Structure 1
Amino acid sequence: MAFHEVRFPGDISRSARGGPERRTQIVELASGDEERNASWANSRRRYDVAYGIRRTDDLAAVVAFFEARNGRLHGFRFKDWADFKSCLPSQVPGATDQVIGTGDGSTTQFQLVKRYTSGAQSWTRTITKPVAGTVTIALNGTAQASGWSATTSTGLVTFGTAPGAVIAVTAGFAFDVPVRFDTDAIDVTLDLERLGSITSIPLLEIRR
């Protein structure tokens, strides 16, 4: 299998449904109390793009995309319109949005991440598919126009010279979600005049 660095049609993904999923085991005791354990350390996103298909031309675009990916075989990029920035949806990404590491004078590579915080709790998401041309970097709050590069296929930021000790490395970016089709068949009912019914076209986030 391979990953195709191509994005699913944005006009269709805009109306898709879906979001993060977690896996939790819950055991109910005889007393009525519960024991809960997280099976997954990280969430996994699911989407259904059938809701974004309004015309037969949309369907043709999805079928072509599906065939080019060989169904479930190859992964691709997907824009989650509800969560595709290093900042809040209403804001513009900036170089100080997310802390991606602290310099130690020797480390030259840092992984892009996004933190989700509520109260005292937070979860850190690894970002592997930043959008080309959107990554900005700052050191101790000062934007860096050069001296680094970002790999859009992995989300790794590489510095020519390692940031010094205790220097905060921050980043801003837009990003896609790596996904694959979660079906090997597209089930569509057509009539003579317009698009009929589509049961589901599921996508599943790829975790490596």
Structure 2
Amino acid sequence: MDFHEVRFPTALSFGSLGGPERRTEVVTLANGFEERNTPWQHSRRRYDAGVGMRSLDDVEAMIAFFEARQGQLYGFRWKDWSDYRSCRASGAVTCDDQLLAEGDGTTTKFQLVKNYVSGPHSYQRPVAKPVENSIKVGRDGTELSEGDDWICDPVTGLVTLNEAPAPGERVTAGYEFDVPVRFTVDTIQTSVASFQAGDVPNIPVLEVRV
């Protein structure tokens, strides 16, 4: 996949509109009941990168970033300010934020995930673009040492432990992360006059599977 490991300017993504999108197929039966199904295991996120622009310098930075990605051709990292950490929005990242798995005595590789829980139901989201130097890994509540005990690939979000956890041991992690996205258009239309009048361009961005 064509992807640049570069983050969209965070000053421009701050204040942008967007969030998760699901695809649900709804069939209404003759008796009025519904059957619902989804072809997607995971949601995709959409954003509008134009909303965060506040000056002509921002427009220039946007155009430069767009040209460097060659429009839709190359994906890039996006900071979703409403959901970019493994902990609660008001908390601090710790090694015990998210349960990755329980040890089986042989497995040493674990994918970073974020668990969304509401009542008895939950959704587990794979995290493929963690932010380097923000990752903490723990085992049964004890923080492990990066390098000595584990390494993490920031391109895939795959954590590798130097020693396989014993059966039943909890492998946990905390981190900040980005969303892999791309532009969904190959054209950006800007006007100095309209921008100064408060009319910002619409620049849609879509999460990609990696």
1:189 aligns with 2:191: yes
CA distance in 1, matches of 2:36, 2:193: 48
In the alignment of these two chains, the number of paired residues is: 208
CA distance in 1, matches of 2:171, 2:208: 27
Moved more, 186-195 or 119-128: 186-195
CA distance in 2, matches of 1:30, 1:186: 46
Deviations for 1:157-193, whole angstroms, at most 9, x for unmatched residues? 1112222222110000000000001111112222299
Amino acid in structure 2 at the alignment position of 1:141: G
Residue in 2 that maps onto 1:113: 113
Amino acid in structure 1 at the alignment position of 2:206: L
Pairing 1:1-208 to 2, within 5 Å after superposition: 1-145=1-145, 146-191=148-193, 194=196, 197-208=199-210
8 Å CA contact retained: 2:194, 2:200: no
The 1:190/1:196 distance shift into structure 2, 3 A limit, reads: farther
Deviation at 1:29, TM superposition (A): 2.3
CA distance in 1, matches of 2:78, 2:180: 6
How does the TM-score come out when normalised to structure 1? 0.95
> Residue 150 of structure 1: SS of its match in structure 2?
strand
CA distance in 2, matches of 1:75, 1:67: 12
User: What runs of 5+ residues in structure 2 fail to find an aligned partner?
Assistant: none
Moved more, 186-195 or 40-49: 186-195
> Residue 191 of structure 2: SS of its match in structure 1?
strand
CA distance in 2, matches of 1:7, 1:192: 27
How does the TM-score come out when normalised to structure 2? 0.94
CA RMSD of superposed structures (Å): 1.5
- Runs of 4+ in structure 1 off by over 2 angstroms are 29-33, 192-199
Deviation at 1:199, TM superposition (A): 3.8
User: What runs of 5+ residues in structure 1 fail to find an aligned partner?
Assistant: none
- Structure number with the higher strand fraction is 1
